[in-house]
């Protein structure tokens, strides 16, 4: 079966099919289309036509990070910089600091699933956060960035001892913690 790339007629953004290809949603403007024979039948600004629902296809970040925590973290003391799974659930102040320091959009502020704070005193001036929209970050060089999921899927994740590099953005932590966080981030790419 040949992959067909479709563009939104409203904004020329990529149209992502869902519901077994019956519908497509523009990644840029959120317009929804009914797809027939590989073509668009017309834009719809309502969430879905005919009551269709794409929540079954939604990625479950909460379960992903809880499973990663259960698999990779033997003891909470293994982590000093990374907060996800059980450890994030009990640290609402860390989420609030990440929202403020990493300039996380209001739409994403309630859906933060992982925070990595690489500052010595835990101020969240350096690190990154995983939200439903992508990764918000401030790296060791002070550069702020946002990687949406397409950019994140295409970026390279490297680890050199205690340095974790995500898409060219360095973060320094302990060697053991960098190993855990690198595994989790690579699993997230899959």
Q: Specify the pTM.
A: 0.69
Q: Rounded CA gap, 89 and 18, in Å?
A: 31
The secondary structure of 88-114 as a DSSP string is HHT-HHHHHHHHHHTT--TTTTT-EEE
The partner residues of 18 in beta bridges, in order of sequence, read 23
Residue 37 has a CB neighbour count (10 Å cut-off) of 5
The per-residue pLDDT for range 124-171, each reduced to its tens digit, is 999 999 999 999 999 999 999 999 999 999 999 999 999 999 999 999
Tokens of 136: 């918000």
Q: Rounded CA gap, 186 and 184, in Å?
A: 5
């Amino acid at each position: 079966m040949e992959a067909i790339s479709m563009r939104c007629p409203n904004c020329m953004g990529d149209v992502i099919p869902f519901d077994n290809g019956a519908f497509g949603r523009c990644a840029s403007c959120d317009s929804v289309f009914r797809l027939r024979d590989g073509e668009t039948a017309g834009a719809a600004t309502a969430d879905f036509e005919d009551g269709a629902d794409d929540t079954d296809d939604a990625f479950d970040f909460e379960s992903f990070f809880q499973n990663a925590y259960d698999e990779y973290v033997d003891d909470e003391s293994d982590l000093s910089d990374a907060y996800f799974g059980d450890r994030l659930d009990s640290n609402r102040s860390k989420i609030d600091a990440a929202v403020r320091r990493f300039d996380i959009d209001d739409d994403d502020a309630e859906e933060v699933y992982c925070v990595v704070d690489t500052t010595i005193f835990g101020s969240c001036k350096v690190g990154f956060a995983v939200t439903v929209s992508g990764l918000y970050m401030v790296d060791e060089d002070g550069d702020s960035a946002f990687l949406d999921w397409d950019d994140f899927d295409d970026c390279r994740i490297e680890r050199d001892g205690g340095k974790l590099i995500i898409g060219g953005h360095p973060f320094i932590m302990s060697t053991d913690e960098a190993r855990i966080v690198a595994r989790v981030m690579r699993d997230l790419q899959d």
